[in-house]
Structure formats: C-alpha cells, structure tokens
Structure 1
Amino acid sequence: MARDNYIFDLSDKVNRTPVSYRTRYGIEISADLYRPADFDDTKRYPALIVGAPYGGVKEQGPGIYANELAQAGYAVLTFDPAYNGYSEGKPHHLSSPDLFVEDFMAGVDFLGTRSFVDRARIGAIGICGSGSFALSAAQIDPRIKAVATVSMYDISRYHKNGFADSMSADDRAGFLAFVAEQRYADFLGAAPGMSDRGSPLEWDAEANPIGAEFGEFYSRPRGYHPNSITQFTITSAPSWMNFALLDNLSWLNGRPVLIVMGEEAHSRYFSEDVFGAAQEPKELYVVPGAGHVDLYDKTDVIPFDKLRSFFGEALA
C-alpha cells in the first residue's frame, strides 16, 4: 500500500480511517482510527489511545503500535497533538501541558461515544513524552482504565530541571529571562521564535549520542515526517516548568500501570522514578539491549506480546 507519509506499511488485517474530534478548547484534532479488518460494528470492542513522542506525529510510532494492536481486537485511536501535525491551533508547534493532556481526555470522549466501543474498557499508551501525558490524564480521568508508557519522558521535569536534573538555579533563571525577552519579540514579530531541533540534521555521535539517536530517527528516512520537525515555540517551555505532570499518581486508585523501557535507554531514570512513585498494581518491563528510540518503531524489539497481555487483563 502507498505510505502517504506513514513510516510503515498498513497490515492487510487492519483498516485505518481518518477521523477528527474536538477538545474542550475547541481545537480540532486530526486522528486515525485503526480497527481489525474483520471488524463488526454491531459489537463493542475494547479501545486504546496511543500518543506520539514529544515532537512526533500519528504517522510515526503511534501508527506502528495501532497497526499491531488492532490485529489483537482493539479499536485504536492515534492523533496529532493540538497545535501540531494536521491538528488545528495557531501558532503551530506550540506545546502546553494542559493542552497535551486534554488531547488524551478528548480522545476518550470520542471513543466512548462510538457505538462499537465499550467505554468501560478504554486504555492509553504513551510513547516518550506522551507517557507522561497519558499518566497525567489518567490521574484526573477515571475513564482511562489502564496506562502503558514506553520510553517515557516526564516533559515537565525535563524542562524544569534539564536532562538528568542537571540544570542549575542560575541556568534556570537565565533561561527564564531569555524567554521573557522572547515574548516581546514574538509579540512584535510575524512568527514566534522556535527552539532548536530536538533531532539534529547532522551530528557528532560521540559528542552528542542522544542527539544522534533522535536524529537517526526523525531526520532520516527511517522516521522522517514533514510535520515532525521536533521544534516548539520557545515561549512554550515555561508552562512545562511551572506545572508538574505527575504529582498525583496516587489518584489512579488501583488502575494498573505498565512501564516499558529499554535496558540501554538514556531516559530510563524517568521510568524508574515514576515506577517508584506509582502505587500497585504496577509493573516495570525492561527490554533487553534496547535504547530509547528503538521502542518507537522496531517491531522486532517492541514488546507487543507484553502490551497485549497487559491490556488483555487490565481491560477484561
């Protein structure tokens, strides 16, 4: 089948339908709905929402997950975050904790009002940054019955403290002063200032191994999509710094959590710390030899059997 900018080929066992839904902010979200090829719309199916990595879009990793899990009998929704991809919102490439968490909850609104979805059996999967968004949504939305995170990044913690919590108080103050001045420039300018690419176009793998890992996916044919520029408006950052995503994990109230991470992932401390803070039932699943980005698209590495068994039990 033609890829149409999807980074994978759709299985002949799966049907994909473009759909859209509106958030409580009135933003129309561009989404895809994946269903088994033998789908029977007179039945009611369990459903999953799959969120993209921070900077990613639905045609990348989320579609790969949906393509696999729809074959296991799920209706699976993937989406472009508000203000990104083909979703509405201007200026484009803005990011916000409240908006990105709302994308998941509005996805539940959409799925839970489909006649073929059992609204008592809706789960969520968050890849990379969406892991923290999915968990944050579930903290306050009990309609999300189970959550799996994969290669999770806590985006609010990352912005507030830097990678590996390395940002000093002076560095933080300097950055906030820079962003404050950028707001004047954005107000007077024709377009907002943009952050550097999270995935460089060229890199020195020895000097910047994390940049190389992201670049080899987003900036090469392996994972390239024109809507996934891995940049956001500079003035988006303070919102993440000011509003924590994962302070209320106890509010999950016994809903199960599966945390999947690569053994060699540079991001594993995010997963380990959230696993330590979460209450039972919870499970930390380590994929031997895998890095962070390996779990975006490598179907021979992503533990789909584990995801199927987790949601099969959690959404029974």
Structure 2
Amino acid sequence: MDNIEITKEWDKVFPKSDEVNHEKITFKNKYGFSLVADLYEPKDANEKLPAIAVSGPFGAVKEQSSGLYAQELAKRGFLTIAFDPSFTGESSGEPRYMASPDINTEDFQAAVDFLVTNDKVDADKIGILGICGWGGMALNAASIDTRIKATVTSTMYNMTRINAKGYFDEADNPDARYEMKVMLNNQRTEDYKNGEYVRAGGVVDPLPDDAPFFVKDYYDYYKTERGYHKRSLNSNDGWNAIGCMSFISQPIIAYSNEIRSAVLIIHGDKAHSCYMSKDEFEKLEGDNKELLIIPDAVHTDLYDDLDIIPFDKIAEFYKENF
C-alpha cells in the first residue's frame, strides 16, 4: 500500500494563474508506484484537448519548473500534467531519493498512459516535455513510446553522460570511472551496514567564492526565494549518494536516431550544459527535428524566466506536429 501524502494548498514557487483550472491527480506506473501530479487545463474547455506531460529538472519537484511549464502551456490551450518522478516529491517509491534509467523512463510512459485514457484528452495528440535531466529522459521515452507525437527538451542533461563522464566529459576514461565505482560501492557497503542511505547533498550552501559559474547558477535558483522548495532534493540534501549509480552502465537515449516523432531541443547558448543538447540533436534523423539556441541564456534561465522561455514557440511546435 502506498504511503503518500498529497498537499492540498497551493505551495508552488510561482503564482497560480486564474486562466486555468488546477487539480491534484495520481496515476500508477508499471512498477506499482503512485505518481502524484498537478493537472492544469484551460478554463471553459468544451472539447477534447491535446495533452502534454512535463517533468524536471533532475532533483526538482513539480512545484518548481515543471509546474510553471505546465501552467503556461495550459494557458495556451493544452491539458497538461506536471509530475513528481518515482522516489521523489509527493510520489511513492522506497527507498527515497533514488533514480533509475528504466523506472524514470517508465514514469513518462505512465504519464502517457494516464493522458491517453483521459476523457478530456485527444489520445492522438500527446506530447511530453523534459527539463534538465528529464530532457534526456524525455528523449529516451520518445525513442520507445510511439504514442508520443512530439517531444520538447529544455536545457537538457544526458544523465548517463554526466554520471559516466563527469562535467564537460573531464572524467571520460576507465581509471576515473573505476575510482568512482570504488567510491560508490564502498558507500553501498556503509549504507547497508548502517541501515540508511547517506545523502549526497544538494546545491552547495554556503556558496564558496570560488565556486564555478554553473554552481552559482544552480544556487541562484534552488537556494533562494526564487526557486527554493522544501520537497526539492536540489534545494535540500540531494539524492542518495548512490542514487544515480546505475546510469554509469545503463545508457539512455541509445536509439534516439530512430525517433520518428517530432523533437524540439531548446538550450541557452551561455549554459554550461549546452554541449549536451547540441550533441544529442546531431544524433536525430528526419525533417521534423529542430534545435533552438537561445542567445545569452544560462542553464537556469530556462527554468523560470518568462521573458526567455519561448512558450509561444513551444505551443506552436506541439500544435503543428500533433
């Protein structure tokens, strides 16, 4: 039996819009975990709607960026859901604060299950949107789920690449990976002995003066009033130290070249992570794929900056490809 508690009050980091209806919903993935989501829909909708499932960033919750995206797209005519992935937020899954290439891809597919069977949704017009690490997961889901007609990624991370190779691929060699595996497996032993999982820590706090820019960028979102949320892993103690270990040897997006549905990849040209979107785009095939680079935008600008995130473009992309 799932032990989940669903918050009834509005506790997002962004204001509630009076242009949409909002409700909390739940659905199960194929592993039996209950996923909790916020559903947004245009007010006074009187016909079946195209629908979009949204998640991310990696280590965030639906009360942060994904909810903002979902609400903004609902204002533009879509039924949307922003969900907490398994093991995080209000969704179920034990132990807490774990990640999985398989289960997290399944989370997106379970969201599609919910949407295609919803009486308010046009089942032939389903899209997904992944932010940060969930951008890579969205591409992974699109490569296996033919019900997904269009996919958008925003400020994307490939979680296999970052875990196996490090930032900017600086640890892309067998010796570096081996040392990391030794460290993680030693931690597994300690966790088992102690009967609890050590957390890796979220965004560093207090922020050192010599912190790299991308760390300062994350701090500005997750650790300040701008984006802090009490259930967010990144805002607090982070993932379990071994929580992302399986990504090292279980690659995602292995068959992105076989995605036949439409894909729009969006990234800021000043983002430390931009190379990941550019490289993933190069793997895509077909004339329904698009790369949109936003001038002067850093990684977290695409988390919440309404003046920078191209919501009208995103909505147009979905409508054209449904």
Is residue 140–residue 251 contact of structure 1 (8 Å, CA) maintained in 2?
no
Equivalent of 1:297 in 276, 297, 304 = 304
Query: For residue 48 of structure 1, what is the aligned residue in structure 2?
Result: 52
| SS across alignment from 2:185 | helix
What TM-score do the two structures reach when normalised by structure 1? 0.95
Structure 2, unmatched stretches of 5+, are 1-7
- Match 2:263 to one of 236, 257, 261: 257
- Residue number among 12, 24, 28 corresponding to 2:18 in the alignment: 12
In 1: Cα distance, 2:210 partner to 2:289 partner: 36
**RMSD, aligned CA:** 1.4
Match of 1:195 in 2: 200
Match of 2:160 among 156, 160, 179: 156
Q: 1:115 aligns with which of 116, 119, 127?
A: 119
Structure 1 equivalent of residue 43 of structure 2: 37
Match of 1:68 in 2: 72
Task: State whether residues 205 and 212 of structure 1, in contact with CA within 8 Å, keep that contact through their aligned partners in structure 2.
Answer: no
Change (3 A) 1:205 1:150: farther
Contact preservation (8 Å) 1:205, 1:211: no
Q: CA contact under 8 A between 1:136 and 1:246: conserved in structure 2?
A: yes
Question: Is the Cα contact below 8 Å between 1:34 and 1:67 reproduced in 2?
Answer: yes
Which of 143, 148, 159 does residue 147 from structure 2 map onto?
143
What is the 5 A alignment of 1:228-243? 228-230=232-234, 231-243=238-250
2:143 counterpart SS class = helix
In 2, Cα distance between equivalents of 1:104 and 1:55: 15
Which position in structure 2 is the counterpart of 1:174?
A: 179
- Contact residue 42 and residue 78 of structure 2 kept, 8 A: yes
Paired position in structure 1 for 2:3? none
Instruction: Work out the CA distance in 2 between the residues paired with 1:68 and 1:207.
Output: 33
Q: Give the 3-state SS of the residue equivalent to 2:21 in structure 1.
A: strand
CA distance in 1, matches of 2:116, 2:316: 22
Letter of the aligned partner of 2:305 in structure 1?
K
- The amino acid across from 1:259 in the alignment is I
SS at match of 1:73: coil
Sequence identity (%): 37
Query: Any unmatched runs of 5+ in structure 1?
Result: none
1:179 aligned partner, one-letter code? L
- Which digits, 9 at most, give the CA deviation of each residue in 1:119-144, with x for residues without a partner? 11000111000100111011010001
CA distance in 2, matches of 1:122, 1:170: 43
Secondary structure at the aligned position of 2:208 is classed as coil
TM-score, normalization by structure 2 = 0.93
SS of the aligned residue for 2:225 comes to: coil
How many residues end up aligned between the 2 structures? Answer: 310
Q: Secondary structure at the match of 1:302?
A: coil
Quote how far apart the aligned CAs of 1:7 are.
0.7
What displacement does 1:205 show? 5.2
Displacement of 1:77 in angstroms is: 0.8
In 2, distance between residues paired with 1:52 and 1:205? 28
